Amino acid sequence: MKKLLGIIILGLLLSSNAYAKKYAEVIFQNDQSIIFKSKRGLFADSDKKWNRKVNQIMSISKMHCNRINKDAYWFRGLASGQGNFKAGVDTMDNDDRKITYAMYRVICASSVNEAIINFRQKISMYNSELSKRPNSVYKNDISNWYSDIKLKSSDFNVAKDNSNISSTNISFNIKQKKEQCTAIGFKPETEKFADCVLRLVELDIKQQQSNKIATAQNSGNDALVKQLQRQQYDRGTDALLNLGQQLLNPGTTKSNVYMPQTQRCTIQGFGTFAKMVCR
């Protein structure tokens, strides 16, 4: 009897360990998405392993998104063929270009429309296999393969209209601001000159963001208003700190910010993941 009991307990332990196995690890997360990395074996995942992996990914994503009062959305569609999948294969939102691992992305959003907007946002480390329009999406749960929500053309039309308001890219005339600070009397490549330019840039960015928020408020889209408010820029973001370094040490940073042909700078992304590109 004791021997039988021991076998049963051992079986339960092995079963629980199988489900506790880590099938994917989080390598990136913010208010808009969470990205996982999963090692690739010599052979394709069995159905059992695939089901455990996607359920684990969705479970972790749901917890992450719920912390910021959002739902987790995982898009599904036809592969573009740029990775290891053949074009036209039914697949989840993933980046399958690497040989040794694959990446998966789940979107955080308050609605399907917001999820589509966030899906379209570019992330430098991730290139979605779903380069074309997704066909459906799973919301908070993927335990049933047939529980996906079919997407309609109207979902994308609304998202397209809102994306013009919520685009995270902000552009400004850097040449004009340098000229203003030079006219005041500040010398380029000095701390006071960099501080002057950054103050003008900060005012410009805040005005652009305020205009977008006001437009979203007038349209009655509260979810979009909250999203834009989280994307407010200030001088503490990495992008503006990087611009300050470019203005102080253009040689060290290999910047073209002082070149005569450089007219505008664009902040791509937001928060700690934003970057400054000047042309």
Q: Is the model's pLDDT at 103 over the cut of 80?
A: yes
Q: Are 135 and 151 in contact (CB under 8 A)?
A: yes
Q: At a CB cut-off of 8 Å and minimum separation 6, what does 47 contact?
A: none
Residue 193's SS3 state is helix
Task: Report the pLDDT value the prediction gives residue 213, as an integer from 0 to 100.
Answer: 81
Q: Which two tokens stand for residue 110?
A: 């308050």
For residue 26, what are the β-bridge partners? 36
User: Which has more confidence, 258 or 235?
Assistant: 258
Query: Has residue 64 got a pLDDT over 90?
Result: yes
- Percent of the chain exceeding pLDDT 90 equals 37
Question: What average pLDDT does the segment 224-233 reach?
Answer: 68
Q: Going by DSSP bridges, is the β-strand pair 71-78/275-278 parallel, antiparallel, or unpaired?
A: unpaired
Domain residue spans of the chain: 23-161, 167-278
Largest CA distance in the chain: 92
Q: Is the Cα torsion angle 24, 105, 266, 232 positive or negative in sign? A: negative
CA–CA distance, 163 with 197 (Å, rounded to integer)? 29
Question: pLDDT above 70 covers what percent of the chain?
Answer: 81
**Is 32 or 159 the better-scoring residue by pLDDT?**
32
CA 153 to chain centre: 23
Average pLDDT across the chain, whole number: 82
Instruction: Tell me the pLDDT band of 269, cut-offs 50, 70 and 90.
Output: low
CA–chain centroid gap for 78, Å, is 21
Q: 17: pLDDT confidence band, cut at 50, 70 and 90? A: very low
Do residues 106 and 66 touch, judged by C-beta distance below 8 A?
no
- Confidence class for position 216, pLDDT limits 50, 70, 90: confident
pTM tops 0.75, yes or no: no
Please provide the distance, in angstroms rounded to a whole number, between the alpha carbons at the two ends of the chain: 78
Residues 230, 169 contacting (CB under 8 angstroms): no
Mean pLDDT of 163-188: 82
How crowded is residue 98: how many other Cβ atoms within 10 Å of its Cβ?
A: 12
Greatest mean pLDDT among 55-64, 163-172, 222-231 lies in: 55-64
